[in-house]
Amino acid sequence: MRLFLTCLIFFAHLASAECYVVGDLKGYSTRAHEGYQISEDGISSGKFILELNGKSSSITPNNMKCDQVGSTTLLCQHVRADGETTIETWAVYPSAGKVLFTKSITGYGSFNGGNLFVGEIKGICD
């Protein structure tokens, strides 16, 4: 019974939609055309809308399919038949006011590589 109640509370939390505006992403990137050297990078001018809503989760702007995989974590992916694959994770830490973003890119030749950025929660969606 205790396990049932724990699962019910967990899934009820997943079912409730939350939405955050995030930005000022800073961190590191690596790309094939740079010999996979790690360099400082960021997306300081862009803002993103993260909607945590189970299977209907999304990142705007973004056209990837996203799924909520934790109470404040999204897994987004874009996979093509020709082998081009992009996978992103977004983890929101409301009590710290932070967001963590990772990205892995394969099948894009010189653009293959990855990112690890930390950003700021700018607000809650209306």
20-78 tens-digit pLDDT: 999 999 999 999 999 999 999 998 778 999 999 999 999 999 889 999 999 999 999 99
Measured between alpha carbons, how far apart are the two ends of the chain, in Å? 37
Phi and psi torsions of 53, nearest 5°: -150, 55
Q: Please tell me which residue, 17 or 21, carries the higher pLDDT value.
A: 21
3-state SS, residue 55: helix
CB 124 within 8 A of CB 110: no
87-113 per-position pLDDT tens digit: 999 999 999 999 999 999 999 999 999
The rounded distance, in Å, linking the Cα atoms of 97 and 118 is: 11
The rounded distance, in Å, linking the Cα atoms of 18 and 54 is: 10
pTM, whole model, 2 decimals? 0.83
